[in-house]
Amino acid sequence: MTVASKTRAPVRPLSKQRLRLWIRLLRASRSIEAELRDRLRTEFSITLPQFDVMAALARYEAGINMTELSRMLMVSNGNVTGIIDRLAADRLVLRQAPANDRRSYIVRLTPKGAAQFAIVAKAHESWVDELLAGFDEAEAEALIEQLGGLAATGMKEREL
């Protein structure tokens, strides 16, 4: 092998390969997202962002404040306001004023919200199970591991 052939650029440079990977990742996530969005809408008349918020709240029975919520969901602060407004209008969540800090408040699922979430979450899990049926235990585990590092690298500093 000559020096020239050693230093020649590869047919498919790594940067192009990573670009292809990014496009695949994006398409995969978008198509799954679209499918879930569609089923949530037609079967439960709920939007995906609303479901995401309820899922976050379901993990904190005592409730959390708006900033924590927006950090968990990786969306802007102002965005959460609108989603909570709509959920509150449907009596699925409520805002509670804590005693110690009058700037913020705690958001919680109502009993109605928790009951409805339990039903929707069950369906949601089975849909995901169906859509990701191509991955067995080991493949899923490996992929989770590989993707885990991604969110951290090169991103804006974020505690998580």
Partner DNA sequence: CGGAAATGCTTCAGGCCTAAAATATTTATA
Partner DNA sequence: TATAAATATTTTAGGCCTGAAGCATTTCCG
Catalog residues that contact a second copy under the rule CB under 8 A: 14-22, 24-35, 74, 125-126, 128-137, 139-141, 143-144, 146-151, 153-156
Q: What is the DSSP string of 90-125?
A: TTSEEEE--SS-TT--EEEE-HHHHHHHHHHHHHHH
> Which of the listed partners (a second copy, DNA, none) does 29 bind, with a CB threshold of 5 to 8 Å by partner kind?
a second copy
How far is 6 from 111, CA to CA, in rounded Å?
A: 67
Backbone angles phi, psi at 96, to 5 degrees: -120, 130
**List 44, 105, 121, 131, residue binding DNA (CB under 7 A):** 105
Interior/surface letters 90-117, b for 16+ CB within 10 angstroms, e for the rest: eebbbeeeeeeeeeeebbbbbeebbebb
Q: Which stretch binds DNA (CB under 7 A): 11-19, 34-42, 136-144, 146-154?
A: 34-42
How far is 32 from 29, CA to CA, in rounded Å?
A: 5
Helices (H), 8-65: 14-44, 48-58
**List 16, 27, 82, 118, residue binding DNA (CB under 7 A):** 82
Q: Is 31 one of the binding residues for DNA (CB under 7 A)? A: no
Smaller CB separation from DNA, 38 or 139: 38
Cβ 44 vs Cβ 120: under 8 Å? yes
Q: Is 67 one of the binding residues for DNA (CB under 7 A)? A: yes
Q: Is 78 one of the binding residues for DNA (CB under 7 A)? A: yes
Least distance CB 38 / a second copy (angstroms): 8
Which residues of this chain interact with DNA, rule CB under 7 A? 34, 37-38, 41, 47, 49-50, 65-68, 74-84, 86, 95, 100-105
